[in-house]
Amino acid sequence: MDEVANKLLEVGREFEILCRQRKPECSEDNLRDRFDRILYEEVLSPLGAPRPYYEYTVYAKEGFLVRHYRIDAYYGMVFFRV
């Protein structure tokens, strides 16, 4: 796991430099994509876990407090089916 952490830190440092230089490559989406690639290749894929899904809408049945909810990431919310 140290190797994965080091790769993530390296990407973080790279993006810190890009952002300080105000490069167009400095964006949240680009950073997320780079982190996701590392996490998928090094952790998720060997475990057989699927890639996360981003920003999709979940609809709840009538009677719930929220009828629709925009989720930022697949792992951002947990549903328990009863």
Q: Note the pLDDT tens digit of each residue in 1-40.
A: 789 999 999 999 999 999 999 999 999 889 989 998 998 9
Distance CA(31)–CA(37), nearest Å, equals: 10
Whole-angstrom CA distances from 49 to 23, 24, 33, 42, 67 are 33, 32, 17, 11, 29
- Per the confidence metrics, is the pTM higher than 0.75? no
What does the pLDDT look like over 30-67, one tens digit per residue?
Answer: 998 999 899 899 988 998 888 776 665 666 666 555 54
76 has a pLDDT exceeding 50: no
- Collapsed DSSP state (helix, strand, coil) of residue 40: helix
Which pLDDT does position 59 carry in this prediction? 63
In what helix (H) or strand (E) does residue 69 lie, and over which residues does it extend? strand 68-73
| Token pair for 13 | 């440092």
Query: Please, are residues 42 and 10 in contact by the beta-carbon 8 Å criterion?
Result: no
